[in-house]
Amino acid sequence: MFQKISELWEYRELLFNLVKRELKVKYKRSVLGFLWSLLNPILMTLIFTFVFALILRIRIPAPSNADVPAQFLFPAFLLSALLAWNFFSVSISVAVNSIVGSSNLVNKIYFPREILPISTVLANVVNFLLELLVLLVFLAVLGFKFYLYLPFLPLILLIHIFFTIGVCLIVSCLNVYFRDVQHLLGIILLIWFYATPVIYPLDLVPERWQGLPMHSLLKLNPIAAIVLSYRDILFYAKFPEFSVMIYATIISISTLAFGFFLFNLYEPNFAEEV
Amino acid sequence: MALKFKSAKKSLNNGSVIEVKDLWKKFRIYHEKHQSLKETFLKRKRVSYEEFWAVKGISFSLSKGDTLGIIGENGSGKTSLLKILAHILRPDEGTYRTEGKVSALLELGAGFHPELTGRENIYLNGSILGMKKSEIDAKFTEIVAFSGLEKFIDNPVKSYSSGMYLRLGFSVAIKVDPEILLIDEILAVGDESFQRKCADKILEFKLHGKTIVIVSHDLNAVRNLCDSAIWIQDGCIKKQGPSEEVVNAYLAYINQGETASNQGSGAENFGTRHGTHEVEITKVEFLNAHSQQDDAFQTGGKFVARLNYVAHQSIENPVFGVAIFGSEGTQITGPNTKIDNRVIGSVQGKGYVDYIIEELPLLPGSYLFSAAIYDESCLHAYDHQEKMHMFKVKSGVGRMPQGTIQIPCQWKFGDKMAESDLKR
C-alpha cells in the first residue's frame, strides 16, 4: 500500500498533466468554455424548481438564521446538494471508461494505472470547485450565512473525493472485465440519485414506511451522508450531524482502500484484457 | 528487511542490470469473448478458451552497456518478452529484475491528444514516458528543433500529417534519459531519412553506455547495433550469442524455409535489391588474374570483384561491402571497407572499387555474390544488391577435397609406428 502511494507520488507529474489534458480538451475550441459546465446545473435547477417548487409545491422552510426571499429558497436548497451529487455522478460515468478508453496507453506504456481514474476525478474536482465558487457568490448575495461553518467544507470535500475515487477505481476495474458495467451504471446512477435527498428534503420522507425505518436507511447511503453535510453547511449554516460525518468518513476510507485493493489485484492483467 | 533488499541489489550490481530467469507467459485465446455480467453469472459454465504460451522459459542477463537484439518470426513472443521487461505484462512464472530507470519505446506519440497543440503534447507525452517537467523544459527547444516542426508547434496535432506526428513522437521519445532502453520495431516506421536518424540516436545511446534491448525485423540493424542477440522461436530461445552468429543462423533458417517453399519452381532466385540510390552500384564484374572478365575461377587463383558505382551526389565516406554465399545459402564471408579500416573519403560521379582475393580458397561449385554500399554507420543502405550476382569455381589441377572452402592445413603423424617410419 505504502509502496503504491510512493509510486503514485513519483508519477504525480503525469497525474497533473492528465488532469490538465482532460480540462483543456473539455473546453478547447468552445467560446463559452467553463461557462458550459455552469449551464448544466443552472438548467437542472430551473427544471427541478419548476416541477417541484411550482407544480408539486414542495415548501422549503427558510433556515432560521437567514432572511431569504422565498422564491430563491428552493434553488438554493437544491444547488447546495446538487453540485456535490453532480461531481460524484459525472466522475463515475467518465471514469468507468478510463482504463478501457486508454487501451493504447495501457498496452504500450507502464505507469500506475490508478492514475487514469484518479485523474478523471481530479479534473472533475477542479470543475466542482469552480461551480462551488459561483454557488457561494450566489448564496452570499441572497444573504445565506454559510461562512459560519465554511472551514469544515474542505474536510467534507476530502471525504467526498476519497469516496468518489474509491468507487471510480472499482467501476473502472470491473469495466475491463465486464463491459456492461458502463451501461448498467447509467441505471444505477439514476436510482442512486433519487435515493439521495438532493431534490427533496429528508423531512418529507416518512419516518417509517411499511415497517421500514426510511430515514436510517437513506442515511446509510454514504453519498447521502456527504451531500447532506454540504447542505447543512451551505444552506442551513449549521454543523453537520456528527454521527453522520463519522459514518461517511469510515465508509469513504474503506471504499477507497477496497478500491485500491481490487484495482491492484487485477491491474497486472489490464494490458491483455483491454 | 532493509538488509535483504540491499543484498539483493548488490548481487544485481555485480555485473548485470537485467536479469531474466525462466520467464513464462500465457495468454488466453477466447473462442467467443464473453464480456458481460449476465453470461458470467447466469451461465455457470466456464467460458471456453485456449491457453497459449507466448513465452516459454526464457532466461538471460545483460550487463550495463550491453545492446541486445531480439529477433524471430512474427508471433514468436518477442514483443511479449519486451512488454514483460517494461512491466506492462506480468509473467505467469519466473522472475525478472531490472536495475535503473527503464524506458520502453513501444509506440511513438503514445497519449498524444489530437485536440492539443504540439507544445502541450510534448509535455503530456514526456510525462507519460517518465520525464519531469523541469527536464522537458530544459530539452524543449532541442525537441522542437529535432522534430523540425517549429512552425506548427502551437497547432493542434490533429492538423499534423502522420509523418509529422511520428516525428514529434520520436523527438520526445529520444529525449528520455533512462539507464535501460527497450525498443520495439520503431526502426521500421517512417521514411529512410527518419530511420537513419533513429539508428544514429540509438548509436548515441549506445556510446553513452546505456543498456538497450531492441526487438526488430531489421536484421541488418541488429547485426550492426547489437553486441549480442537472441533468436526466439515459439516462445523459446533458439539461439543466443554474438549478434552476427545469431542473425546468420536465423537467416540460414529462413532461407532454408524459402528454398523449401520455392522448390518446384526451379528458377534461380536472383536476389533482392534495396536502398535509397544516392549512390548506386551500376555493375559488378568478376575479373581473373589477367584483369579479364570471367565467370569461372580456379581454386587458388586470383579473384577480383569490381564494383562499378555512380554517385549522384557527394557522399561522405560510404562503406563498400560484399558477401559470398554457398549454393545452400550459407554465408561464407562478408567483409566491408569499414571492418577492414579502409576509408574512401568522399565520392561523386563514377568510379569503381575492387575486392581482391589473391588466392581464392573456394572449392569448385556455384557461388552467390552480394554487393552493397552503405553510409558510414553501416545502417543505411544506399544500394544493397543481395545475392544478385553469381560466379563459379571450376576444378583446378589435382584432386580437390570435398566442401566449399579450402583451408590451409598440415598433417602430422604421431611416432607410435616405430617399424616403418612414414614421415616424408
- Over residues B159-192, the pLDDT tens digits come to 998 888 888 888 888 888 888 989 887 656 666 7
B94 and B118 housed in the same domain: no
Sequence-ordered list of residues with C-beta below 8 angstroms from that of A9, at least 6 positions apart, any chain: none
For A13, which of B88, B104, B127 is closest by C-beta distance?
A: B127
- Measure the CA–CA gap between A216 and A81, rounded to whole angstroms: 19
Q: Is 60 exceeded by the pLDDT of residue B423?
A: no
Over residues B16-40, the mean pLDDT reads 76
Residues B345-366: tens digit of each pLDDT: 888 888 999 999 998 888 888 8
Q: Does residue B266 fall inside a structural domain? A: no
Contact A110 B123 (CB under 8 A): no
Instruction: Give the chain B residue whose CA is nearest to the CA of A180.
Output: B36
pTM over 0.80: no
Identify the closest residue of chain B to A102 by CA–CA distance. Answer: B111
* Cβ-nearest to B83 among A178, A269, A271: A271
Q: Output Rg (C-alpha) for chain A, integer angstroms.
A: 20
User: Are residues A180 and B37, on separate chains, in Cβ contact within 8 Å?
Assistant: yes
- What pLDDT is attached to residue A1? 67
Mean pLDDT for the stretch of residues B405-420: 76
Contacts of B106 in chain A (CB under 8 A): 107-109
Residues contacting residue A218 through CB under 8 Å, at least 6 positions apart = A195, A196, A197, A202, A205, A224
Q: Which residue among B40, B104, B113 sits closest to A178, beta carbon to beta carbon?
A: B40
Is there a single domain that holds both residue B195 and residue B122? yes
Compute the average pLDDT of residues B237-253: 88
Find the CB nearest B89 among A20, A177, A271.
A271
Domain end (from B102, B129, B149): B102
If asked whether residues B378 and B356 sit together in one domain, one would say yes
Q: What is the pLDDT of residue B417?
A: 59
Examine the domain organization and report whether B82 and B115 are in the same domain: no
| Beta-bridge partner residues of B311 | B279, B349
Binary contact (A109, B107; C-beta < 8 A):
yes
Residues 19-58 of A with CB under 8 A from B: 20-21, 24-25, 28-29
Counting Cα atoms < 13 Å in the Cβ hemisphere of A62 gives 14
Both B95 and B132 in a single domain? no
Same domain, B121 and B186: yes
- Domain coverage including residue B132: 108-231+239-250
| pLDDT for position A243 | 87
The answer to whether B114 contacts chain A (CB < 8 Å) is no
3-class state of residue B95 by DSSP: strand
Q: Which of B25, B44, B150, B30 is nearest to B94 (CA)?
A: B25
- Using 50, 70 and 90 to split pLDDT, how confident is the model at B266? very low
Q: What is the pLDDT of residue B1?
A: 29
- With beta carbons under 8 A apart, name residues in chain B contacting A14: 127-128, 130
CA separation for the pair A113, A15 (Å, rounded) = 10
Paired strand residues for B242: B228
Domain assignment present for residue B282? The answer is: yes
- For residue B294, tell me if it sits in a domain: yes
A with B: how many residue pairs have Cβ under 8 Å apart? 79
Q: What is the pLDDT of residue A166?
A: 96
| B115 and B97, same domain (yes or no) | no
Q: Are strands A208-209 and A212-213 parallel, antiparallel or unpaired?
A: antiparallel
Neighbouring C-alpha atoms within 13 Å toward the C-beta of A55: 7
Residues B334 and B219 in one domain: no
Return the beta strands (E) in A108-218 as ranges: 208-209, 212-213
The CA distance from B146 to B311, in Å, is: 28
Per-residue pLDDT, B259: 54
Select the residue from A103, A173, A181, A272 to test the B interface by mutation, using most B Cβ atoms within 10 A. Answer: A272
Q: Which helix (H) or strand (E) holds A141?
A: helix A115-142
Same domain assignment for residues B75 and B120: no
Confirm or reject contact between A180 and chain B (CB < 8 A): yes
Task: Residue A17: list chain B partners with CB under 8 A.
Answer: 123-124, 127-128
Quick check: B50 pLDDT over 80?
no
Q: Tell me the three state secondary structure of residue A232.
A: helix
Instruction: Quote the radius of gyration of chain B (alpha carbons, Å).
Output: 27
Tell how strand B303-316 and strand B102-105 pair up: unpaired
Whole-number pLDDT of residue A122: 96
The CA distance from B78 to B250, in Å, is 14
CA distance B247 to B70: 10
CA torsion sign, B374 to B219 to B103 to A98?
A: positive
Spans in chain A with pLDDT lower than 50? none
CATH number at residue B389: 2.70.50.60
What's the pLDDT at A30?
72
Per-residue pLDDT at B170: 84
pLDDT at B202 (0 to 100): 83
Is B35 an 8 Å CB contact of chain A?
Answer: yes
* pLDDT tens column, B371-397: 999 988 888 888 888 888 888 888 766
Distance CA A27, CA B116 (A): 11
Q: Residues B297, B301, B305, B306: what is their CA dihedral angle, to the nearest 10 degrees?
A: -110
Distances in Å between the Cα of B300 and the Cα atoms of B14, B290, B335 are 50, 15, 19
Is B35 within 8 Å of A24 when comparing Cβ atoms? no
Pairing state between β B211-215 and B67-71: parallel
Task: Tell me the domain boundaries of chain A.
Answer: 2-273
Indicate the pLDDT class of residue B230, thresholds 50, 70 and 90. very high
- CB B35 to CB A28 under 8 A? no
At residue B203, the pLDDT reads: 84
Q: Do A24 and B127 touch (CB under 8 A)?
A: no
Question: Which residues does residue B211 pair with via DSSP β-bridges, in sequence order?
Answer: B180
Specify whether B164 is located in the same domain as B209: yes
CA of A99 to nearest chain B CA: how many angstroms apart? 13
* pLDDT attached to residue B324: 92
Q: Does A138 touch chain B (CB under 8 A)?
A: no
Q: How many domains does chain B have?
A: 3
For residue B417, is it within any domain?
A: no
Could you tell me if B306 and B387 lie in one domain? yes
Q: How far is B92 from chain A (nearest CA, A)?
A: 11
* Residues of chain B neighbouring A24 (CB-CB closer than 8 A): 115-116, 120
For the question of an ipTM over 0.85, the answer is no
Q: The domain spanning residue B54 has which CATH number?
A: 3.40.50.300
Residue B300 within a domain: yes
Instruction: Please report whether residue B146 resides in a domain.
Output: yes
Partner A, chain B 190-219, Cβ-Cβ below 8 Å: none
Name the residue of chain A whose CA is nearest to B102's CA: A110
Q: Is residue B127 in some structural domain?
A: yes
Q: Given CB atoms, is B37 within the 8 Å cutoff of chain A?
A: yes
| B422: in domain | no
Task: For A115-150, write each residue's pLDDT tens digit.
Answer: 999 999 999 999 999 999 999 999 888 888 888 888
Do residue B49 and residue B74 come from a single domain?
yes
Report pLDDT for A153: 92
